[in-house]
Chain A
Amino acid sequence: MNIAILSGKGGTGKTTVSTNLALALNFNYIDCDVEEPNGFLFLKPEIEKTERVMVEYPVIYDKECIACGECVKACQFNALAKVRDKIFLFEKLCHGCGACEIVCKYGAVTYDKREVGKIESGKVRDINCSRGILNIGEPMAVPVIKQLLKDLKGENNLIDCPPGTSCNVVNTLRYVNAAILVTEPSEFGLHDLKIAVGVVNMFDIPFGIIINKDDGKDNIIRQYSRKENIEIIGSIPYRRDIAQAYSKGEILYDNTKFKPIFEKLANRSKEVLKWN
């Protein structure tokens, strides 16, 4: 069972929910927020393995290349330039699509690999943890996300998604069977929740909502969920001591005050997401 935790808006508590819920459910934890992976700050797993994420990029051989410029024209991403009868590649713009190799009639294009990020994995308590880290300055996160998720075994995994509803999120959702949307009871939270619901609906998977920083009232999130027939898995109350514990990088689940919240969320998640 692979459950994605996502939120339209950043900062609603995705990582708070996913790290603590992973412990409560005894699921593996996978941090797909590769631009800003924060889950390990809380879980502090012992890193056992680091892998590099490599992408292919074209290498043009001077000997064969006559600088006809066909590869430059074929590149949809402007990653190639023709200067002084040589072809230059701008790696960070390259999507590794292979179009340049296809058009080259002189066999001057081959591929090499370069690193765009890393994957770290380890264990904490009984669960396996892994995270993807995109190298600074690299614009494309998808190769890191794909490598992180492609080897998901038949275990139970909780996947901490990137914020928003972009390509990164869509690529993460392809690997999951269920989703939990984390939101907060504010106009912003609702606005962005609606967008997240739109994305999840594209995948036809069961999903539910967790309200973080909840005021306990019949707020706009509850009203919206009722209207749209979306189940609320539960909520985490808006409390300063919770915010403070989070700021220190503490695991709320380890605190006897907060543990019951996550036990309850774990049980409700199983119900709502129909996991057996």
Chain B
Amino acid sequence: MKVGISTSGKNNDSLLDKRFGRCEYFQIHDTNTGEIKVLENEGKKASGGAGIAASNQLIDEKIDVIITGNLGPNAFELIEIEGIKAYKCEDIAVSKVLEKYNKGELQGITMSGPAHHGGSK
């Protein structure tokens, strides 16, 4: 299971970054292999559509779970359609985030918000 966390740093004691689209990094923790991959968030530099850029990046990484502060309507829709489970958390250390996640203490992100899109027909 690959768990993605939006963070402000690259380490285990770095804090979770509550923004999704404009966070600094994504840390992807593989709960099976213990491997940790740190990526610079592509949405960070985006003039617009940051949430979409970040979502595209994580979808490509095939994560199963995302833990962040909140998701804008565009990101939320993409994450939901892809079937990634989203949880919200405060800006605490990554190690604590994972602890809480493992204990099932994190709340899921649910949002009804307008997202406007077209695309495949």
Contacts and interface: CB of A to CB of B under 8 A. Distances in A.
A77 B49 contact: yes
Contacts of A89: 117-119
Interface stretch (B4-12, B53-61, B88-96, B105-113): B53-61
Contacts of A114: 118
A224 interface: no
Contacts of B81: 83-84, 88
20 contacts: A60-B120, A60-B121, A62-B120, A78-B43, A78-B48, A78-B53, A80-B52, A80-B119, A81-B78, A83-B55, A83-B81, A84-B83, A86-B119, A88-B78, A88-B120, A89-B117, A90-B115, A90-B116, A90-B117, A91-B116
Contacts of B53: 78
A-B pairs with lowest CB-CB distance, top 7: A78-B49, A88-B119, A89-B119, A86-B120, A89-B118, A78-B52, A78-B53
Given A81-B78, A82-B60, A88-B120, 11 more contacts: A77-B47, A78-B48, A78-B49, A82-B59, A86-B120, A87-B119, A88-B81, A88-B118, A90-B74, A93-B52, A112-B118
Interface residues of A, number: 28
B59 A83 contact: yes
Interface of B: 43, 46-50, 52-53, 55-56, 59-60, 74, 78, 81-83, 115-121
The residue among A57, A65, A82, A88 with the most chain B CB atoms within 10 A of its own CB is A88
Contacts of A137: 116
Contacts, number: 75
Interface of A: 57-62, 65, 72, 77-84, 86-93, 112, 114, 137, 139
A90 B46 CA distance: 15
Nearest to B115: A90
A65 B116 CA distance: 21
The residue among A77, A78, A86, A87 with the most chain B CB atoms within 10 A of its own CB is A78
A84 B115 CA distance: 18
B78 to A, nearest CB: 5
A62 B119 CA distance: 9
A88 B56 CA distance: 11
Contacts of B55: 81, 83
B121 A62 contact: yes
